[in-house]
Amino acid sequence: MKPFALTAIVAVLFHTPAWSAEAPPLDSIKAVAGGYAKQLKSGLLAQMSKNGPEGGIVACSATAAQLGAETSAQTGWSIKRVSSKARNPLAMPDAYEQEVLNGFEKELARGKEDASRYEVVREGGVRYARFMKAIRIEPLCLTCHGGNEVPSNVVQKLSEKYPHDIARGYQVGDLRGALSVKVKLD
Ligand code: HEC
């Protein structure tokens, strides 16, 4: 085979047109999602130890929004938290996310510690790589997402800022929601 022909075949096999990008490797997605989750949690802990639960309320909202915007600027991906019992209405899941959350709920009920999913989906003729990872309730979260554990001053603050809040009444281990990363491929 002439070198030219080989080059042509390699080019055909590996050429990726600009309109059809490959899905990013799962490891890269996990690294970005992991970094986001870690920074969010350390921001929450720092704010709570400095300014109590009221500082934490700011951290769980402002920090999340800021981190999401920064991560999107760096990667071009959308990254956010979603929940079927959302406190912030912007965190309501889309149809795909709701279906995956239902699946996670079942996996955790069967005793799995963690749940995640990564796949390429087509929506309205456009391909997206979508990654989701379950977020579970830990003791720390009960101050603002628990039942009777939520102190009355926090209940008051939350009701003022989120009049339609339904993100309470959770117990440790419950599925709180998921981290959702969406990458446009086409
Ligand atoms: C100090 C109070 C506070 C604590 C503690 C807290 N959260 Fe939140 N959480 C909030 C607030 C306020 C929001 C709404 C954020 C916004 O405006 O986007 C929120 C939103 C969320 C969301 C996004 C979905 C939604 O309902 O809007 C998730 C997921 C979440 N929290 C998980 C957790 C987890 C997991 C923990 C424990 C590790 C935790 N939170 C601890 C106050 C708190």
Q: CATH for 22-184? A: 3.30.450
Which pLDDT value is given to residue 39? 92
DSSP 138-180: -GGGHHHHSSTTS-HHHHHHHHHH-TT-------TT-EEEEEE
Which pLDDT value is given to residue 20? 59
Which pLDDT value is given to residue 128? 97
Mean pLDDT in residue range 138-144: 94
Higher pLDDT, 55 or 157: 157
- Token look-up 């005793």 returns 111
The minimum-distance atom of ligand 1 relative to the CA of 136 is: 35
**What interhelical angle do 64-75 and 26-58 show, nearest 10?**
150
Residue nearest to atom 22 of ligand 1 (CA): 81
Residue nearest to atom 32 of ligand 1 (CA): 176
pLDDT digit string (tens) for 91-102?
Answer: 999 999 999 999
The pLDDT mean for the chain works out to: 88
Which pLDDT value is given to residue 110? 97
Ligand 1: residues with CB < 6 A are 44, 48, 53, 56-57, 60-61, 64, 81, 83, 86-88, 91, 135, 137-138, 140-141, 143-145, 167, 176-177
Which pLDDT value is given to residue 146? 97
Residue nearest to atom 41 of ligand 1 (CA): 141
Percent of the chain's residues with pLDDT above 90: 77
Mean pLDDT in residue range 1-8: 43
Residue nearest to atom 16 of ligand 1 (CA): 61
- With CA atoms as reference, report the closest residue to 129 among 7, 3, 23: 23
The CA distance from 91 to 15, in Å, is: 37
